[in-house]
Chains A and B, each alone.
Chain A
């Protein structure tokens, strides 16, 4: 059974986005379903802090021994933080995908963008 926290938003590409803070910044990562399907993550490539990303564009990749998967930007905005801990310990994505295994923090260009993402029940239907 895949873990799908109720308080997050999701994409069909198996990313999660947390609620925005007071500055309109969101934290995001890949879902429990995605990490399980990928297998043990050995390398993560992510955009640099300060770069702009556009929703639905490929902005990085997550590589396991078995396969490689693109990271699609779930929202548009400016990358304000990158999870540096993944450089030395990419397995955090497997052990704690919604916590210490987060990927990026993005300052939303459109604060309303989260409304277009999937709710937890909608995402749960996707991964069945």
Chain B
């Protein structure tokens, strides 16, 4: 329990955030920038131009060895052995009861002399648990599990102008590679940062609903990369962006947040993540029997999107009502900066999960009308 009482950790970019005048928040055991100036301005910058995020609080766990794919097929709910080198996959790590320990992005990297290689990226607050759980599950497999969180920084450029910003730090010979990178792919790319060459793992992934990139960088180079991206983004109206707008951006994109929508008590099927659970895998995996039973039984409650008819927003834990009776609970909610009306994610009894269903959310004692809508709330134009 020591992690809850100790001082929050600082990322390698903490001083850069201080210099930019950030207000900080303790998130997942880390002192992270909440906002630099205005979270609304930062939100709109990501939707319209670009935002620069420090995501170094996320974990990085490397799985290496001849049985890396086979091991991940056992440890996680997805079939990671069939992911091609250079591609990424969203997955879950569940316990034996089918409860969600964390949601993850897994990158498959090219094999080397040590065997197949995967990079597993858990959420900040769950990273130590996930690393420990993977290490425990690795018993009997020919793999090594290495938690590189403490040495690795993660910087994200998100928004429609992220490509043009990134290309300024990449030699012309690699421009085509970067431009043509597919969503959910990753590649080692040569950067020029502060006049020096730097080979970094670049991924076309994100948590904002926009085009964008995430760059894995050793702590020692994080500051110079951060400042080079800030400078390159100046003409494109890039803003440094904090966790406040990260939350509003992911909610508009209908993406779940661990601790809100996902938890040990939440079923992947209730959360709309049934497609992530590979019951077609021909091998056993942790949670398989429980998840098969869950699927067989069907979902009594489902995660839905809610759109407010008025202006007041529902917030986490507010009751969802139908004819005065509680039929669910909001997990995340706020006024949508892009759409201009309140949006929320909520678990509701399955019979009320159909889009178009009118429900009410109890807003501090006063019920207000909301409608079940299709997710995501916001989808970028391609």
Chain B interface helix/strand/loop/mixed: mixed
Chain A stretch 73-113: residues in CB contact (< 8 A) with chain B: 91, 94
Contacts of B334 in A (CB 8 A): 65-66
Chain B stretch 298-336: residues in CB contact (< 8 A) with chain A: 311-313, 315, 334-335
CA of A94 to CA of B335, assembled, Å: 17
Least CB distance from A63 to B in Å reads: 6
A40 at the interface (CB under 8 A from B): yes
Decide if B313 touches A68 in the complex (CB within 8 Å).
yes
CA of A66 to CA of B35, assembled, Å: 11
Decide if B335 touches A43 in the complex (CB within 8 Å).
yes
Least CB distance from A29 to B in Å reads: 19
Least CB distance from A125 to B in Å reads: 21
Stretch of B12-20, B37-45, B141-149, B163-171 lying at the A interface? B37-45
Contacts of B38 in A (CB 8 A): 39-40, 94
A42 at the interface (CB under 8 A from B): yes
A45 at the interface (CB under 8 A from B): yes
Decide if B312 touches A66 in the complex (CB within 8 Å).
no
Known A39-B244, A40-B38: A65·B335 in contact at CB below 8 Å: yes
CA of A5 to CA of B255, assembled, Å: 43
Number of interface residues of A (CB under 8 A): 14
Which single member of A36, A40, A43, A68 contacts B315 (CB below 8 Å)? A68
Contacts of B337 in A (CB 8 A): 42, 65
Chain A interface helix/strand/loop/mixed: mixed
Decide if A40 touches B312 in the complex (CB within 8 Å).
no
Q: How large is the interface on B (under 10, 10 to 19, 20 to 34, 35 or more residues)?
A: 10 to 19
Residue of B at shortest CB range from A36? B23
Residue of A at shortest CB range from B23? A36
CA of A61 to CA of B334, assembled, Å: 14
Least CB distance from B201 to A in Å reads: 32
Which single member of A36, A40, A61, A63 contacts B40 (CB below 8 Å)? A40
Decide if B335 touches A63 in the complex (CB within 8 Å).
yes
Contacts of B364 in A (CB 8 A): 61, 68
Contacts of A91 in B (CB 8 A): 40
Contacts of B39 in A (CB 8 A): 39-40, 65-66
CA of A66 to CA of B244, assembled, Å: 7
CA of A36 to CA of B35, assembled, Å: 11
Contacts of B247 in A (CB 8 A): 66
CA of A91 to CA of B315, assembled, Å: 21
Which single member of A36, A63, A65, A67 contacts B312 (CB below 8 Å)? A63
B248 at the interface (CB under 8 A from A): yes
Q: Which residue of B40, B41, B43, B312 has the most chain A CB atoms within 10 A of its CB atom?
A: B40
Residue of A at shortest CB range from B251? A65
Residue of A at shortest CB range from B314? A68
Contacts of B23 in A (CB 8 A): 36
Residue of A at shortest CB range from B43? A65
Contacts of A61 in B (CB 8 A): 312, 364
Chain B stretch 22-55: residues in CB contact (< 8 A) with chain A: 23, 35, 38-41, 43
Chain B stretch 94-121: residues in CB contact (< 8 A) with chain A: none
Decide if A65 touches B244 in the complex (CB within 8 Å).
yes
Residue of A at shortest CB range from B363? A68
Sample 30 A-B pairs with CB under 8 A, ordered by A number: A36-B23, A39-B35, A39-B38, A39-B244, A40-B39, A40-B40, A40-B41, A42-B335, A42-B337, A43-B311, A43-B312, A45-B312, A61-B312, A63-B311, A63-B312, A63-B313, A63-B335, A65-B39, A65-B40, A65-B43, A65-B248, A65-B334, A65-B335, A65-B337, A66-B39, A66-B244, A66-B334, A68-B315, A68-B364, A91-B40
Known A43-B311, A61-B364, A68-B313; further 4 A-B contacts with Cβ < 8 A: A63-B312, A65-B40, A65-B334, A65-B337
Binding site for B on A (CB under 8 A): 36, 39-40, 42-43, 45, 61, 63, 65-68, 91, 94
Closest 5 CB pairs of A and B: A40-B40, A42-B335, A43-B311, A65-B334, A65-B248
